[in-house]
């Protein structure tokens, strides 16, 4: 039964029969799909330092965003990279997808590595975003994950998949 329906999110309660035969009721959140992009240029990459109201803090993360209705994930990656960094990329290398929190949501985030970066004049950040673009040596990313400077799950997955 749907208990909430908004522009980009719906929430429902659903009865499940678990593989062991037990019946349970659970809440499932349906936010739709999203993408995350790790832009790489030479030995450096770009992250964003973004204010996130849910945690009331700034965090380092990969540029990311939600897939609009009728949009393919690679189209979203192209659009979101421009919106959040002011850069476009010649190539988007797919790096698979992840379930960021499958205990309560069916959200999938498609991961991309962006290459061949150049400035884009169609730069228009959303008015509810507070973002600073930060250039980081790629060799420093693993240390940023290890010491807790990067705590965003999608970004950690991108670091693992792009810089193997």
Average pLDDT over residues 31-57: 96
CATH code: domain of residue 62: 3.90.79.10
Most distant pair of Cα atoms in the chain: their distance: 57
Token couple for 138: 């790629």
Predicted pLDDT of residue 154:
97
| Residues ≥6 apart with Cβ < 8 Å to 92 | 37, 74, 77, 78, 112, 113, 114, 115
Q: Would residue 130 count as lying in a domain? A: yes
Predicted pLDDT of residue 17:
94
Residue 101 to residues 13, 38, 40, 93: CA-CA distances in angstroms? Answer: 17, 20, 26, 24
- Total domains in the chain come to 1
CB 105 within 8 A of CB 30: yes
Q: Would residue 5 count as lying in a domain? A: no
Q: Would residue 74 count as lying in a domain? A: yes
Summarize pLDDT for 95-137 with one digit per residue, the tens. 999 999 999 999 999 999 999 999 988 666 677 788 999 999 9
Summarize pLDDT for 126-149 with one digit per residue, the tens. 777 889 999 999 999 999 999 999
Residue 20's pLDDT band, with cuts at 50, 70 and 90, is: very high
Domain that holds residue 60: 34-92+108-162
- pTM of the model as a whole: 0.92
Q: Would residue 12 count as lying in a domain? A: no
């Amino acid at each position: 039964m749907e208990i909430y329906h908004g522009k980009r999110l719906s929430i429902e309660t659903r009865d499940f029969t678990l593989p062991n035969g037990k019946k349970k009721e659970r809440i499932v959140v349906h936010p739709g799909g999203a993408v995350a992009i790790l832009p790489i240029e030479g030995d450096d990459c770009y992250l964003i330092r973004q204010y996130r109201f849910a945690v009331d803090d700034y965090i380092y993360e990969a540029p990311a965003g939600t897939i609009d209705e009728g949009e393919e994930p690679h189209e979203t990656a192209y659009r979101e990279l421009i919106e959040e960094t002011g850069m476009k990329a010649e190539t988007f290398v797919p790096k698979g997808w992840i379930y960021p929190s499958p205990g309560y949501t069916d959200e999938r985030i498609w991961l991309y590595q962006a290459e061949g970066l150049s400035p884009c004049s169609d730069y228009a950040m959303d008015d509810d975003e507070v973002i600073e673009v930060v250039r980081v040596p790629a060799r420093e990313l693993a240390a940023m994950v290890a010491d807790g400077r990067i705590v965003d799950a999608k970004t950690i997955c991108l670091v693992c998949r792009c810089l193997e």
